[in-house]
Amino acid sequence: MTNVTYETENAIFTFSLNAVTKALKTANQTEELVKLLQFLTSSPPDSITIPKGYSHFGYIALDLLTKGKGSVTCKTCNKTYRPDQLKLTVVGHGTSPFNLKEKGGIKNVFIKGQRLPGLFGGRGFTCPNGHELISMITWRT
């Protein structure tokens, strides 16, 4: 089985080529993701490393981890973890602007007399020891 590796400052992510290809085909097709899919299909069948220029792959990695796919090596701990061992984190105003239970949520947007600020939020993961592995802004208002 061919593995796809994606490296950031904090972690090394490993996914199966099949899972990555499926995620890329179902994601919103941007020019970068189309080029990435072409890169993957034209790469030798050995282990494939995502080049640094593909910054949107972080969103694919986050989605795959959320679905329980792949593994992550924390560079601080120097240990590899399965997605079910990771801790989900919240970025900014939460994972969704419509989640009223999360800090910030949309309910705070409608406070009388308050100017509507530009809000943002997202999610990420830390290792079991609390080291940040990945975090991405997934929405903005």
At 90-133, the pLDDT tens digits run 876 555 555 545 455 455 555 555 555 666 568 899 999 999 99
pLDDT of residue 100: 43
Give the contacts of 36 (CB within 8 A, at least 6 positions apart): 24, 50, 54, 56, 57
pLDDT of residue 67: 94
The CA R_g of the chain, rounded to the nearest whole Å, is 17
Backbone CA torsion sign across 88, 19, 13, 35:
negative
pLDDT of residue 99: 58
Count of beta carbons in the 10 Å neighbourhood of residue 84: 7
User: Closest Cα to residue 74, out of 16, 125, 19, 137?
Assistant: 125
Average pLDDT on 67-83 reads 96
Ordered by start, the domain boundaries in the chain are: 3-140
Is the pLDDT assigned to residue 48 strictly greater than 50? yes
